[in-house]
Amino acid sequence: MKLKQVAAQLYTVRDYLKTPGDIAKSLKKVSDIGYQAVQLSGLGPIDDAQLVKILDGEGLVCCATHEDGKTILDEPKKVVEHLQRLNCVYTAYPHPSGVELKNLSDVESLAARLNDSGKVMSEAGITLTYHNHHIEFRKFDGKLMLDMLYENSDPRYLQGEPDTYWIQYGGGDPADWC
């Protein structure tokens, strides 16, 4: 694999991304290491135009983002506008916090909401993905929650962003999921 095919997931350095100045310093370090692309996640508040200027100045591409889950579900057009300003076509639903997932109906409801948001994004040329954690390996009526999310959504509107650590932690086989 070539380094240009690998991106730095910025959530791993989120403690160094609190202010615009921190973001600029950290993105310079990421670029100096040799990365050419980043997935934006865990950043403190920064204006999109300022962020794009920093990315461009460091020769970095925003290949994907993690957006606020509530915004994805309730205001997908806002997410589209944000990603268009970043010239980015991939985002992930990062975690179902604040969403009830106590039964089959809850999971089906989340899948439907993600599908609806994904459709809005797809129509604008953006791909919505789902970033799993271990909780999606719980079963409802004998089925894995993660399987149910994908089965109850259209693959044009919701794709996967498999996190192999959480797949393993949840009891799944990362190779099978990839």
Q: What is the pLDDT of residue 21?
A: 98
Question: How does pLDDT run along the chain (178 residues), one tens digit per residue?
Answer: 677 778 999 999 999 999 999 999 999 999 999 999 999 999 999 999 999 999 999 999 999 999 999 999 999 999 999 999 999 999 999 999 899 999 999 999 999 999 999 999 999 999 999 999 999 999 999 999 999 999 999 999 999 999 999 999 999 999 999 9
Q: What is the pLDDT of residue 83?
A: 98
What is the token pair recorded at 81?
Answer: 């506008």
Global pTM exceeds 0.75: yes
Determine contact, residues 65/41, Cβ cutoff 8 Å: yes
What is the token pair recorded at 122?
Answer: 């797809």
Q: What is the pLDDT of residue 1?
A: 67
Q: What is the pLDDT of residue 4?
A: 72
Strand ordering across the sheet containing 37-40: 8-9, 37-40, 61-66, 90-93, 127-131, 159-161
What is the C-alpha separation between 19 and 68, in angstroms, rounded? 18
What is the C-alpha separation between 20 and 175, in angstroms, rounded? 38
Q: What is the pLDDT of residue 2?
A: 73
Determine contact, residues 80/126, Cβ cutoff 8 Å: yes
* Strand pairing report for 139-140 and 143-144: antiparallel
* Strand pairing report for 127-131 and 90-93: parallel
Determine contact, residues 125/118, Cβ cutoff 8 Å: no
Q: What is the pLDDT of residue 5?
A: 75
What is the C-alpha separation between 14 and 66, in angstroms, rounded? 12
